[in-house]
Structure 1
């Protein structure tokens, strides 16, 4: 998947899209999370979740990743499919999303591995969009989040290219963790077209039918 454009910030790669954040959010990013703002504890407004419209085939890179990491792809149906989002959970999501975005150096699979698409944990410190999200999910699961509520998701980005994000399903709506920005946005505020996401169980994925707006969704 094509990588976002990155610039350098304090000598480190940083997603340029972040420069469009508010002055407050940008100052947090520049300080690397050192500022513990009380307003970060405030929960986001409730929004409608995205609706699935049917089944979809998983990405081939996902299939290969699951063959090598079966525990990462196993879905426990006894886990909640959505998180009852608390202020502490929201802070954890913000912290991990921002930290992984800082820690991983953007590198396409072609430049990194010589192939078009490989899903990995960026163990050498470099990776592309799906690698960022896999690391975030791993850290969130270690922090106590249910894997079933953390869905790998395929979208079309603002440049018309395929892009991977992670959708966090909550009782307040679906929120997107992205390597293009440090802000965590409701799914319909990203400007992306939603194609498909990891399913409720097993290897099955769900089609999102090119969703762009909550006015197009229905109850699931």
Structure 2
């Protein structure tokens, strides 16, 4: 669901940045990375990793939930599908802020601007409707289920 009354961007204050860094690091170190095939016997399943295990999109869903629970605009946090350094589908969380778009990734606890990741950006959730929007017209991977 999209709440159009929520701000489309997060105001990056020192306290907000500290919260984002903390949540990103805690989730990255607190969950065990496993593929959906290993975990569920399915090629791709999006889940909140309530059992402490998950793959890339599960890590990002947990981060988004914790940040939203802490008061950040859920509308400004968009699940995003990329092609990673191995040429595989991968999911990251894009934070739309008043200082640019930053990426939370389970492969690193460094939070960086999207253009520094080295990823090819495919699509992300829309801020205005329940849909995905294309980011550059590259063909989408079949699954995003890597660690």
Q: Same fold (TM over 0.5)?
A: yes
Runs of 4+ in 1 over 4 A off after TM superposition: none
Give the equivalent residue in structure 2 for 1:131.
58
1:178 aligned onto 2:105: yes
CA radius of gyration, larger in: 1
CA displacement at 1:210 relative to structure 2: 5.8
1:86 aligned onto 2:7: no
Q: Distance in 2 between matches of 1:170 and 1:183?
A: 16
Q: Which has the higher strand share?
A: 2
Give the equivalent residue in structure 2 for 1:64.
none
Q: Distance in 2 between matches of 1:87 and 1:106?
A: 30
User: Which of residues 153, 156, 160 is equivalent to 2:87?
Assistant: 160
SS in 2 for 1:209: coil
Q: Distance in 1 between matches of 2:68 and 2:79?
A: 13
Give the equivalent residue in structure 2 for 1:150.
77
Give the equivalent residue in structure 2 for 1:106.
33
Calculate the TM-score normalised by the size of structure 2: 0.91
Q: Distance in 1 between matches of 2:12 and 2:52?
A: 30
When the two structures are aligned, how many residues end up with a matched partner? 138
Q: Which runs of 5+ in 2 are unaligned?
A: 139-147
Q: Which has the higher helix share?
A: 1
